[in-house]
């Protein structure tokens, strides 16, 4: 598929597919928030997207897998160095996982560890490489040492085991999943700043890939004696039509980097950053690195809209993805106005209804938008 025809497909993509695609284009990582009861479904949906849409290997990590460095490193390695058919490998993996632990299979045909990526064949070596996509549930509860190792992995694209060094493939994503009830438990500050953007998955958006798999499995049962094409074959054809190849990702990356930013738009972006740093209730998180990612995301969004320049609307959209997980809300004793005579009780009342989203929206409403 050419980048020129990609715009027609954007509206048909789900929010999670777009989030993963943007992360792959930017070569950065995305934090995803979801309601507590949808945590497992979200992890399975992301795994299906990685496998079916982007042809990438994946691993789903539980909270127990991120409590020690040894367990974390062992879990994220892709041990499938032999080139084999991904469908066969997935079936074998799924059967083995279900046999050893019946509760491990969230949906039929999907295991916690994905088949080898077709993009990883060129990286075959004696030491296993890291999988393409790490889907880490409740990663904000990971041990501090594990979070430091994850930071090292996304910065230098390598991680150390007790015996050797393991490299990350070119297409590599860390997708920490945080439940709504625990979002007050933050990632390591340096790791959090390295996360490209955050996204809240609404329950009403559903899990189309999971639902599609359930429908295909149900149809397969009903048409066991039918002479029509197998539903699994039809689903394979549907997946093939939606698949996004690495060449398209590279084209979109080049187009995004080349997007034009006028002086007026750049000033608007800097005004948003300045107002955000001085906003009531903000105690930190608006870092220089975040500003770099803010501009980068705005530029990478341009090809998704079929344009080669950044608009104020793209700046607004980028701000809503880059800053919510970064902004640190002040406690009443650290609220800026207390330095000028406001008592702590009044500051507490002022901060009661503030959160990163409301602060950000207030800033966007306040800053004058260029015509």
Q: What is the pLDDT of residue 78?
A: 86
pLDDT, tens digit only, all 371 positions of the chain: 566 788 888 989 999 999 999 999 999 999 999 999 999 999 999 999 999 999 999 999 999 999 999 999 999 998 764 333 333 433 444 443 333 333 334 455 565 666 555 554 444 456 789 999 999 999 999 999 999 999 999 999 999 988 889 999 999 999 999 999 999 999 999 999 999 999 999 999 999 999 888 777 766 555 544 444 445 666 677 777 789 999 999 999 999 999 999 999 999 999 999 999 999 999 999 999 999 999 999 999 999 999 999 999 999 999 999 999 999 999 999 988 888 888 899 999 989 989 999 999 999 999 999 97
Going by C-alpha positions, the residue among 338, 361, 335 that lies closest to residue 282 is 335
Check residue 126 and give its pLDDT.
66
pLDDT at 361: 97
What is the pTM for the complete model shown? 0.85
Residue 98 is predicted with a pLDDT of: 36
Looking at CATH, the fold of the domain delimited by 3-251 is given as Rossmann fold (3.40.50)
Residue intervals of the chain classified under CATH 3.40.50.300 are 3-251
- Environment class of 266 (CB within 10 Å of its CB; exposed 0-12, middle 13-18, buried 19+): middle
Identify the architecture of domain 259-366 in CATH: Orthogonal Bundle (1.10)
Query: What is the rounded distance in angstroms from the CA atom of residue 34 to the CA atom of residue 27?
Result: 23
**Could you tell me where in the chain the CATH 1.10.8.80 domains are found?**
259-366
What is each CA distance from 154 to 19, 75, 140, in whole angstroms?
18, 16, 16
């Amino acid at each position: 598929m050419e980048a020129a025809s990609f715009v027609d497909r954007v509206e048909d993509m789900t929010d999670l597919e777009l989030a993963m695609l943007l992360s792959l284009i930017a070569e950065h990582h995305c934090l995803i928030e979801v309601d507590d009861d949808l945590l497992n479904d979200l992890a399975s949906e992301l795994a299906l997207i990685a496998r079916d849409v982007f042809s990438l290997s994946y691993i789903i990590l539980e909270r127990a897998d991120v409590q020690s460095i040894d367990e974390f490193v062992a879990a994220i390695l892709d041990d499938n160095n032999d080139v084999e058919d991904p469908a066969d490998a997935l079936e074998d993996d799924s059967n083995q996982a279900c046999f050893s632990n019946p509760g491990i299979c969230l949906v039929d045909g999907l295991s916690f560890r994905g088949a080898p990526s077709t993009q990883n064949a060129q990286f075959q070596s004696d030491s296993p490489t890291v999988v393409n996509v790490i889907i880490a549930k409740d990663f904000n509860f990971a041990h501090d040492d594990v979070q430091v190792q994850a930071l090292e992995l996304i910065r230098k694209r390598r991680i150390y085991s007790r015996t050797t060094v393991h490299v990350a493939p070119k297409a590599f994503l860390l997708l920490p999943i945080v439940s709504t009830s625990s979002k007050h438990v933050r990632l390591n500050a340096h790791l959090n700043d390295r996360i490209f953007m955050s996204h809240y998955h609404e329950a009403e958006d559903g899990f189309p890939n999971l639902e599609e798999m359930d429908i295909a499995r149900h149809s397969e049962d009903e048409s066991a004696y039918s002479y029509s094409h197998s539903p699994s074959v039809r689903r394979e054809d549907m997946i093939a039509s939606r698949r996004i190849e690495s060449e398209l990702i590279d084209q979109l990356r080049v187009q995004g980097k080349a997007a034009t930013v006028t002086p007026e738009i750049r000033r608007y972006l800097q005004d948003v950053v300045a107002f955000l740093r001085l906003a009531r209730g903000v105690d930190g998180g608006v870092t220089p690195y975040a500003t770099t990612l803010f501009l980068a995301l705005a530029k990478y969004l341009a090809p998704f809209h079929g344009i080669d320049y950044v608009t104020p609307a793209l700046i607004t959209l980028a701000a809503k993805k880059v800053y919510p997980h970064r902004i640190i809300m002040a406690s009443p004793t650290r609220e800026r106005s207390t330095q000028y005579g406001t008592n702590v009780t009044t500051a507490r009342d002022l901060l009661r209804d503030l959160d990163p989203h409301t602060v950000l929206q207030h800033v966007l409403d306040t800053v004058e938008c260029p015509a």
